């Protein structure tokens, strides 16, 4: 019987591991398919406190993992496929067939950004193709970029990027935006933002970094070249919560419903990081919620005794 199992090794899960390990709970941390979480796709992180020169995303996660191991956290690789609340504990089933029992469970499985799914996209991840303007916008100072999407998040990304970029072009596959009226108005009023309608990104080209995209007119299938320095994808996120649906309360998008103390509807089960965050999705907020989940798990264990 484990005292704490943590699902996910992003910065939220690793922070929870540090805190529970320092509390001598010897947490077992399961990495899952995306070891290190979304930070592993971010080259430079310049907004995490304590790194005045910035830090590589993978390095930040590796440091947090090493810190947790120093205090006794154990790390393993598997993928949770189901959970079940039992009398006095939680049972976690894994894809490998393994079944583990734990008194508390911290779910920090994150939310994966939706990608275009085109072959050339993978080549430029972290080299001009990104899913986070807040994280990477400053690297495109005085550059021209495109934002793919038509919802509120796309408008927010585009508006934020105008702080750095000389030109921001929103590429949307429909004739109308899905964004709220107020967000549409803000974007349309900004002189740096322009729109390309009825188009999708069919390819991304460049040598070492992005130099442009191939746009496909969804009505005529005509392909045109569009030079740009960066591609920001704002087509949504997918929370990694399939294994808890029907057991833990989630919202209409699949994000875990957690209260402000990281509690879920199941006693002893807590949520941290992007798996329960539909708004901020930042490394620092994930770390903070990981801390809260860990402290609440420790408190829960004390109350069980």
Active site (catalytic) residues: 132, 135-136
Cα 232 to Cα 80: distance, rounded to the nearest angstrom = 31
Whether the CB-CB separation of 31 and 76 falls below 8 Å is answered with yes
**Residue reference for tokens 């309360």:** 249
Whether the CB-CB separation of 21 and 96 falls below 8 Å is answered with no
For 219, the 3-state DSSP assignment is coil
Q: Tell me the CA distances in angstroms from 131 to 107, 115, 166, 250, one per residue in order.
A: 23, 8, 19, 23
- Rounded to 5 degrees, φ, ψ at 182 are -65, -35
Cα 177 to Cα 158: distance, rounded to the nearest angstrom = 13
Give me the DSSP letters along 74-138: EEE---EEEEEEETTEEEEEETTS-EEEEEEEEE---EEEP----HHHHHTBTTTEES-HHHHGG
Q: Tell me the CA distances in angstroms from 282 to 34, 81, 99, 229, 277, one per residue in order.
A: 17, 26, 32, 24, 9
For the chain, how far is it from start to end, CA to CA, in angstroms? Answer: 15
Whether the CB-CB separation of 237 and 112 falls below 8 Å is answered with yes
Greatest extent of the chain over all pairs of C-alpha atoms, in Å = 68
- Rounded to 5 degrees, φ, ψ at 67 are -65, -40
- Going by C-alpha positions, the residue among 194, 111, 112 that lies closest to residue 147 is 194
């Amino acid at each position: 019987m484990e005292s704490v199992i943590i699902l996910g090794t992003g910065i939220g899960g690793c922070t929870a591991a540090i805190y529970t390990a320092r509390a001598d709970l010897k947490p077992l941390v399961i990495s899952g398919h995306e070891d290190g979480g979304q930070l592993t796709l971010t080259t430079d992180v310049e907004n995490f406190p304590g790194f005045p020169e910035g830090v590589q995303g993978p390095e930040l996660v590796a440091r947090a993992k090493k810190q947790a191991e120093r205090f006794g956290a154990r790390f393993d690789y598997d993928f949770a496929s189901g959970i079940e609340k039992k009398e006095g504990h939680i049972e976690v089933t894994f894809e490998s067939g393994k079944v583990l029992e734990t008194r508390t469970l911290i779910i920090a499985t994150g939310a994966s950004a939706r990608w275009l799914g085109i072959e050339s996209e993978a080549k430029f991840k972290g080299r001009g193709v990104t899913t986070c303007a807040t994280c990477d916008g400053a690297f495109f100072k005085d550059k021209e970029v495109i934002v793919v999407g038509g919802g509120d998040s796309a408008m927010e990304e585009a508006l934020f990027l105008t702080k750095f970029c000389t030109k921001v072009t929103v590429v949307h596959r429909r004739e109308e935006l899905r964004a709220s009226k107020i967000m549409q108005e803000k974007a349309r009023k900004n002189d740096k933002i322009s729109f390309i309608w009825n188009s999708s990104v069919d390819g991304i080209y460049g040598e070492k970094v992005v130099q442009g995209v191939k746009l496909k007119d969804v009505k005529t299938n005509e392909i045109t070249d569009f030079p740009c320095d960066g591609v920001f994808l704002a087509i949504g996120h997918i929370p990694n919560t399939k294994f808890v649906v029907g057991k833990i309360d989630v919202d209409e998008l699949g994000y875990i419903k957690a209260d402000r103390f990281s509690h879920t509807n199941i006693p002893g089960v807590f949520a941290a990081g992007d798996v329960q965050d539909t708004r901020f999705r930042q490394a620092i907020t994930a770390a903070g919620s990981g801390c809260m989940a860990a402290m609440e798990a420790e408190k829960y264990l004390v109350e069980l005794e």
